[in-house]
Structure 1
Amino acid sequence: MPSPEPSSVLRSPKLWIGSGLIVAVVSILFALLYVGGNVDPKGNLRDLPIALVNSDRGADTNGKHLNLGDQVVSGIEKSAANNDSFSWQVVSRQEADKRLGQGKVYGALVVPENFTATVAGLSNPKATEAKRPVLTVLTNQSAGSIGSSMASQANQKAAHAASARLGKDLLDRAAAQKAPLAPAAKLMLADPVNVEVADGHPLGTHSAMGLSAFYYALVLVVCGVLGANAISSQVDTALGYVHTDFGPFRQRMPLRHTSRVRTLAVGTVLMLGLSVVMGSLVELATVGILDMDASHLGLLWLYSVGTIAAVGVSALAMLAVFGTPGMLVSTIVFIAMAVPSSGATVPLEALPGFFRTLSEFEPLRAITGGTRSILYYDAQGDAGLTRAWISMGIALVASVLFGFGMTRLYDRKGLHRVPRPDESSDTAAAPAAA
């Protein structure tokens, strides 16, 4: 008698419900995280750090020593008293250059040494050729293009406001002297300051306008996550737990009963070894083939290998503990939550509070900071490299303890992936004895 045709798997409610829940969670989670973190950077902006430099030496006018640079600084600080979007840091030019070179400020506004003397020359009736004073706005794309743009806009706005205040004073002085002014002179005195924009920390032409560090770090994280998934699948295939399809061909190895701890150990050794291959190829592709601007190539290689290894071992631990859902968990942790909280595109100061909290422990922020330090900031530890090494070390140790601790617990409780032959015979003998 012919066997009945099996019912279509599409009629199974469990298949529809299970698949639907997974894709629903992924869809809404990625949408909320990616768009939610970047939808309103100006509205969420808090304490964006900007350096304010007063190098003005002042000048003697009418028997008094005057320093208009101090007035510019005090005017900006007074205007910023009720605005918490920006954090103006009054520092020396040397300190400003240092912070620009470590990515700790997104820009700077510089008052030059001869500022007061140049302004005084505008109202001097004996001057034959007036020279307009200059305020310099320094940008810092290495700290992030959006943050640098925000800082530049704030600096230019502050500089033009300072120019308007000085212009009012100059026009009042001219009126007090009762000296006739030509219309062109009045226009120049009303807005006397030239505002110049310059690059405070120049980058090479092959640095993606300050985003190459983020993309490089993201590649390392993706290599770690995908590498862990591939290694886990290959280990399971080699041990006979799953089969592998190559087009129309199927490979199925004899089953080897292996403990969960040993399986994770095999995958970890593979991950550590193949991280050398992946890290080398990533640097070869980006620096050797694409000509990405990079220095400290030996340190960059070591950092690439270490990052992929730390992320990969962490992802393997999640796969070993959570099983198939571990792939989704690692994707959410290392990519979905990490990218919008990394501060690489939109600065942390322009993210909602939830994402700022995520950035305290999400690995991509630290990894991007370390990459920036190597690529842009001469591998300075204070520029993010030290934090990156410490964060990766903590993550690696925590993942090893979590992964091997949980798999050992599973083994001790007899929760093997496939029942061993002796366990199967014991289970079959129990009903017979009864």
Structure 2
Amino acid sequence: MSSVSLAVRDANTMLRRNLLHARRYPSLTLNLLLTPVMLLLLFVYIFGDAMSAGIGDGGADRAAYVAYLVPGILLMTVGGTVVGTAVSVSMDMAEGVVARFRTMAIHRGSVLFGHVVGSVLQCVMSVLLVGAVGVAIGFRSTDATVLEWLAAFGLLVLFALALTWIAVGMGLISPNAEAASNNALPLIFLPLISSAFVPVDAMPGWFRPVAEYQPFTPAIETLRGLLLGSEIGHNGWLAVGWCLALAVLGYVWSTSLFHRDLT
């Protein structure tokens, strides 16, 4: 068996381990998943009439605000789900699980790849569940073509992959699970200062560049353009560029930390 085949086999084994771990200890996943669902329901049914003013035609329009809000919540779901990856990686390192794997004849990188692929799969399942809640409360995308739906799904997967590698690095630098959760808080906080809930134009002028060019806003606006037919403009290139840059940065950072800790 070639080295590539061995690496793929070991990564698949680590993937199964991580998925079984998530199934046996679902509390963290449920907590991270319930947050975007509760935010979606909160902003639609409690703040919806006030927040939707100016988004729909002729004043407050809850249906228009649901359409505006759901893409942002989907990206927030990705950011929240990968926090669990940071915690899981930190626990493996702190509890000596990785040190035990080191004594076995397995490919070193398979440990990280198992976490990454498992996290991306969990992100996809979380996004599907939150998307189903969005449809149940009125979200519709009647004008999107099959290609646009595929592009939207691809963007979500690429965004999940990029944030997962960043989360892995955060987990590796954290001495325990609590520190990992705190270190990963920007992945939950950044969507709150993006265009997820209100348009960037409604923000103070001095703050607009921060909200407009951070990673979440271009991805959210691209997702809205694909699903709702709004103008994408330069946001598509910015979103893909952010995803590729974060994925490369996270991969290099995580692998260097991982190999350093094992030397």
1:264 and 2:112 are equivalent in the alignment: yes
1:247-396 correspondence to structure 2 within 5 Å:
255-257=100-102, 261-287=109-135, 289-295=136-142, 296=144, 298=146, 301-302=149-150, 305-323=153-171, 324=174, 327-332=181-186, 334-342=187-195, 344-345=197-198, 347-376=199-228, 379=229, 383-384=231-232, 387-396=234-243
Give the secondary structure class of the aligned counterpart of 2:100. Answer: coil
Aligned residues: 202
Question: Which has the higher relative contact order, 1 or 2, with Cα contacts under 8 A spaced 6 or more apart?
Answer: 2
* Partner AA of 1:415 in structure 2: D
CA spacing shift, 1:146–1:261, aligned 2, 3 Å = farther
The corresponding residue for 1:136 is none
Distance 2:123 2:150 in 1: 10
In the alignment, structure 2 segments of 5+ residues that lack a partner are 1-50
* Partner AA of 2:245 in structure 1: A
Superposed CA offset, 1:335-373 (max 9, x none)? 42432342742x433423442121232233223323432
CA spacing shift, 1:260–1:402, aligned 2, 3 Å = farther
Question: What RMSD in Å do the two structures reach over aligned CA positions?
Answer: 3.9
In the alignment, structure 1 segments of 5+ residues that lack a partner are 1-143, 150-198, 244-251, 420-434
The corresponding residue for 1:399 is 246
Structure with more helix by fraction = 2
Distance 2:52 2:138 in 1: 21
Tell me the CA shift for residue 216 of structure 1: 1.2
Tell me the CA shift for residue 326 of structure 1: 5.6
Distance 1:282 1:368 in 2: 15
- Assess if the C-alpha contact under 8 Å between 1:317 and 1:400 holds in 2: yes
Give the secondary structure class of the aligned counterpart of 1:339. Answer: helix
Distance 2:227 2:62 in 1: 12
Tell me the CA shift for residue 402 of structure 1: 0.8
- Assess if the C-alpha contact under 8 Å between 1:313 and 1:399 holds in 2: no
* Partner AA of 2:252 in structure 1: G
Q: Which has the larger radius of gyration?
A: 1
CA spacing shift, 1:285–1:228, aligned 2, 3 Å = same
Superposed CA offset, 1:17-39 (max 9, x none)? xxxxxxxxxxxxxxxxxxxxxxx
* Partner AA of 1:217 in structure 2: P
TM-score, scaled relative to structure 2: 0.58
Distance 2:152 2:205 in 1: 30
| Percentage of pairs with the same residue | 17
CA spacing shift, 1:255–1:275, aligned 2, 3 Å = same
Distance 1:401 1:215 in 2: 29
1:35-434 correspondence to structure 2 within 5 Å:
145-147=52-54, 199=57, 208-234=62-88, 241=93, 255-257=100-102, 261-287=109-135, 289-295=136-142, 296=144, 298=146, 301-302=149-150, 305-323=153-171, 324=174, 327-332=181-186, 334-342=187-195, 344-345=197-198, 347-376=199-228, 379=229, 383-384=231-232, 387-411=234-258, 414-416=260-262
Superposed CA offset, 1:151-199 (max 9, x none)? xxxxxxxxxxxxxxxxxxxxxxxxxxxxxxxxxxxxxxxxxxxxxxxx4
Distance 2:66 2:153 in 1: 18
CA spacing shift, 1:391–1:266, aligned 2, 3 Å = farther
Structure with more strand by fraction = 1
TM-score, scaled relative to structure 1: 0.38
- Assess if the C-alpha contact under 8 Å between 1:342 and 1:348 holds in 2: yes
Tell me the CA shift for residue 265 of structure 1: 2.3
* Partner AA of 1:265 in structure 2: F
CA spacing shift, 1:310–1:294, aligned 2, 3 Å = same
Superposed CA offset, 1:297-320 (max 9, x none)? 745753553344334333322333
Distance 2:237 2:99 in 1: 42
* Partner AA of 1:348 in structure 2: V
